[in-house]
Amino acid sequence: MQRSSFGVQLSDPPTPLEERSKTSIVSLPPPSPSKLSCSSDDPPRQHILWAVPPANSSERHHQSHPSTPDLSKSSRQSSCSNTSDSAKEEFWGERPPAEVVFDNMERYFDKQDLDKEVEVAVDATNSLSRRSTKSIRLVAREASRKYKKTGETMVRRKSTKLWGQRLVEVKSKSAHVITRLPSVSEHMNLSHANTSGTPIQWIRGKLIGKGSFGKVYLAFNVGSSEVIAVKQVEVPKTVSDMLNEHQHDVVEALYQEIMMLRDLDHENIVQYLGYGRDDTEGVINIFLEYVSGGSLSSRLSVHGPFDESLTRYITKQICSGLAYLHSRNILHRDIKAANILIEQDGICKISDFGLSKKNDYDEVYDENSRMSLRGSIYWMAPEVVKNEPYSAKVDIWSLGCTVLEMLTGQRPWLALSQIAAIYNLGRLNSPNIPDHISDCAKDFLKQCFIIDPIQRPTATNLLEHEYLNTDPSFQFNEYLEKGKI
């Protein structure tokens, strides 16, 4: 049932079945003790993230996810007791770290022929080097040895950029598929494109996420021996599809997202690596940095609220990422715990830029900018709900809502339906701030929830707030060891 309030079109909160078809992160289970490879009949276990939890819920995040598999270390001990060394690898969160993927390629790339020979450079540092052939399995094995040799002293390595490269998906049961670069009419400047050089080969693995705009798969860049992610979005295939206004808008929005984010480079933002169009499958492939671990939402669903030290540590990283985005005139417009990924080393990354917007002609904090209503109702700022001009200050309001999620384990406006939340926002109310948190945390939230966006601080301002003065002795690993995240 749909309604409208303050000019906003609403629908009732989805049922679990309806939500399952919209937004989910697929949890990749650790290697099975009985087998290291999966048949095509083995469905990946799914972890559902509520985009809009039930309005009458008074429960914590984790009680809204009844089908969530417990992938904590303790729950995996017994299931891994009789496995080989590689199968004993355990991981934290829903997505395995790269070294676990390397050691269990049969599990995560179960539909690929890992013994297929591919062309690789003898010396990747020399562009004029000789090339030879190796099996995909051997390439992954060598990468695994490199990870183990460097151990914990390994410096975080940035994924190889693929912009302007010729990409080839290696498939087991068909010919190689060239993921061609889009034509000029598809908004790609090809003046620097490597359309004649040696192509970069990659393979697609397990599904690790899906949403209304496409599916995200695990992938392996054979040329650079890197685990990456690939987001696949279907594009119009027929003339009638191309004339469909909605499909046209989706593709245009996708190209806008790609070109807006291609040059971003920040530790707290998921890196876009490149893209191409696969006419055989009728999809656009967007190559992304692979982030192991899970989302803040999934961690809250398992462990409940975070304490203030952990929340400060995470909030500072989100704020740093937002400050960078805003410095590039980019609004995210959908900041929430479900869109913040966290790795096992504690690094947080802002993800899901499908609703982002670049302010080309105005200052990013210009309150007179005219933009459409975008985002998730419960995390929206009042000026968005009231259909007023808004700026990047909407991300600051959403940041406050995300901090509330971490401190309480609950989404903002928990007791309210969408229409009731919009009514409160329209009357210039803000979410309740809990009494049990520190005065410093309360002040930080009050700053985020200043009704007048002109008076609301910028992300750079908030980085100077006392709440983000993290304790130098803070150790994220201690929270992992104690099972607090």
- Quick check: helix, strand or coil at residue 412? coil
Are 233 and 255 contacting, i.e. CB atoms less than 8 angstroms apart? no
Q: Which among 232, 177, 179, 169 has a CA at the least distance from the CA of 203?
A: 169
Please tell me whether 316 is known to bind a ligand.
no
CA gap 61, 49 in Å, rounded: 9
Determine contact, residues 378/417, Cβ cutoff 8 Å. no
Find out whether 342 and 94 touch, Cβ atoms under 8 Å. no
Q: Count of alpha carbons within 13 Å of 86, Cβ hemisphere only?
A: 17
Beta strands, E only, 17-108? 24-26, 46-48
Identify the three-state secondary structure at position 50.
coil
Is 345 annotated for ligand binding? no
Which amino acid would we find at residue 396? Answer: I
Tell how strand 214-221 and strand 226-234 pair up. Answer: antiparallel
Residue 352, marked binder: yes
Q: Which of 356, 342, 410 is nearest to 378 (CA)?
A: 410
Output the CA–CA distances (angstroms, integers) from residue 20 to 63, 67, 339, in the order listed: 16, 11, 17
Q: Is 395 a catalytic residue?
A: no
Handedness of CA 380, 381, 383, 385 (dihedral sign): positive
Could you write out the DSSP letters of every residue in 309-350?
HHHHHHHHHHHHHHHHHHHTTEE----SGGGEEE-TTS-EEE
Q: Which residue has the tokens 């209503």?
A: 373
C-alpha distance from residue 242 to each of 138, 251, 315, 354 (Å)? 43, 10, 42, 21
Which among 334, 345, 366, 452 is annotated as catalytic?
Answer: 334
Q: At 414, is the secondary structure helix, strand, or coil?
A: coil
Residues, the chain, total? 485
| Sheet strands (E) in 14-159 | 24-26, 46-48, 117-121, 131-135
What is the sign of the dihedral through the CA atoms of 364, 366, 372 and 376?
Answer: positive
Annotated binding site for ATP: 231
Catalytic residues, which ones? 334
Annotated binding site: 231, 339, 352
Annotated binding site for Mg(2+): 339, 352
